Structure 1
Amino acid sequence: MSHRGAFIVIEGLDRSGKTTQTETIQKRIQEAGKEVVCIKFPDRSTSIGKMIDSYLRSQSNLDDHVVHLLFSANRWELASTILAHLKQGKVVLCDRYAFSGIAFSVAKNLPPINLAWARAPDASLPSPDLTLFLDISPEAAQSRGGYGEERYEKEGMQRRSQERISDGKGGGKGTWIIVDAGRDMSAVTEEMWVHIRPLLDGLDTPVGRLWD
């Protein structure tokens, strides 16, 4: 097995600081002299991503099953790209991944969107080597700017998603770490960095696959 880059995912509820932390960690990795590629899901620049963007902004309505499959398809659009970057020895840093998609869909409490159904479309996607879940209460998230601008940013939905998100974790051989995101941003960054730094020199193991 040739040396490859690490696949790192930053997960969390809306307004948990995912995007800010992803940008901060990206700079840290670059300063450490490593190549890093950042991907944000959903990727709203693709054809499928534009449909998702319209839905999230409440500009269109779609069946919940269709929405879930679109989110999964959006991840599959970039699966080969992720694998290519890892093969080149680059760190792939992802702002959200399959775990959020599963949690939000199951949190809708709409049969037959149960955990097994929600996980199925993402089976065999590349599995992260490390997932950092930024845990924050819906109340604390509401106090942050921009909360409530998109369809899923409602307290009830966020609370149910918080309860469900760990249901979709794992599925590969990667590590899942819960980080208290209600603290000072710099303290959160430092805790994340402790787990990320050891992976920057790459891995000699094959890329895992979700749910395998």
Structure 2
Amino acid sequence: MDTPSHRGLFVVFEGLDRSGKSTQSARLVRNLKDQGHQVRHISFPDRTTPIGQMINSYLKGQSQQEDHVIHLLFSANRWEAAESISHDIASGTTIVCDRYYYSGCVYSAAKENPSLSLEWARRPEEGLPRPDVCLFLDISPEKAAERGGFGHERYEQSEMQKRVRELFLRLRSSPDENDFVTVDAGQPADVVEKEVLQIVVKTRESIDAHRSSLRSVHA
């Protein structure tokens, strides 16, 4: 799909905790590399940076942060990577990303802080590189909770996950977020993998047909 004359794609995986994002993003990276494409795999939060280390401490319950402060730290963590994402895509490298600003917005809004709405949470993201496609791995909170490792971090609680899923559904129905494609994450992993690759191939074809440039998140 990618050649030196093409820009790279920006592919994002979103969904509840334990919906299979890490598994499917890694499989997509492997499939694209096997086809000879330049690919970089990233995830948010990036816990390797100073800001990311603060976020990691918070997520593991080792520190506390006011709701607006932690949301802005998550946003700043994405902004730290914005320039390198744009540069790599312009150079022909496809970026496969596990979580992006969509998660940042819905997880903050799910706390039900009256002064931290979904709309407020989205504003600091305006201007970030916008994905060509956001693959939403849809699964019920109950099914996600049955998967290994659930509950190890701050947000992995059933009620929180229910609110997060409701807000994801609201966000993806917005006309501003027309890059969402829903994939049934309750299917066998191999079936999800095949469906994901088909969607990415179609996205590549559409980008090439319209010679579309990388967009930015807008208001």
Corresponding residue for 1:93?
Answer: 96
**Amino acid in structure 2 at the alignment position of 1:129:** D
Equivalent position to 1:206, from 191, 210, 213: 213
- Specify whether residues 168 and 211 from structure 1 end up closer, same or farther in structure 2 by C-alpha distance, changes over 3 A only: farther
Q: Report the secondary structure of 2:62's partner residue.
A: coil
Aligned residue pairs, count: 211
Equivalent position to 1:38, from 36, 41, 49: 41
Corresponding residue for 2:179?
Answer: 175
**Amino acid in structure 2 at the alignment position of 1:205:** S
Corresponding residue for 1:145?
Answer: 148
More displaced 10-residue stretch of structure 1: 30-39 or 168-177? 168-177
Corresponding residue for 1:195?
Answer: 199
Say if 1:129 and 1:173, in contact at 8 Å, map to a contact too: no
Q: CA deviation at 1:174?
A: 5.7
Q: Deviations over 1:20-59 (max 9, x none)?
A: 1111110000011110011100000001000000000000
Say if 1:133 and 1:179, in contact at 8 Å, map to a contact too: yes
Q: Report the secondary structure of 1:149's partner residue.
A: coil
List runs of 5+ in structure 1 lacking aligned partners.
none
Q: Deviations over 1:160-204 (max 9, x none)?
A: 000001333477686211111011111111111110123457643
What is the root-mean-square deviation of aligned Cα atoms in Å?
1.7
**Amino acid in structure 1 at the alignment position of 2:181:** I
Distance 1:132 1:61 in 2: 31
Distance 1:148 1:208 in 2: 35
Equivalent position to 1:83, from 81, 86, 93: 86
- Specify whether residues 208 and 166 from structure 1 end up closer, same or farther in structure 2 by C-alpha distance, changes over 3 A only: farther
Corresponding residue for 1:102?
Answer: 105
Distance 1:158 1:124 in 2: 28
Distance 1:46 1:17 in 2: 25
Distance 2:171 2:126 in 1: 11
Say if 1:119 and 1:168, in contact at 8 Å, map to a contact too: no
Say if 1:5 and 1:90, in contact at 8 Å, map to a contact too: yes
Equivalent position to 1:22, from 20, 25, 30: 25
More displaced 10-residue stretch of structure 1: 197-206 or 12-21? 197-206
List runs of 5+ in structure 2 lacking aligned partners.
none
More displaced 10-residue stretch of structure 1: 44-53 or 193-202? 193-202
Say if 2:171 and 2:177, in contact at 8 Å, map to a contact too: no
Corresponding residue for 2:50?
Answer: 47
Distance 1:32 1:57 in 2: 38
Distance 1:141 1:93 in 2: 22
Q: CA deviation at 1:115?
A: 1.7
Corresponding residue for 2:75?
Answer: 72
Distance 1:175 1:165 in 2: 13
Equivalent position to 2:157, from 133, 154, 158: 154
Q: Report the secondary structure of 1:38's partner residue.
A: strand
How does the TM-score come out when normalised to structure 2?
0.91
**Amino acid in structure 2 at the alignment position of 1:133:** F
How does the TM-score come out when normalised to structure 1?
0.94
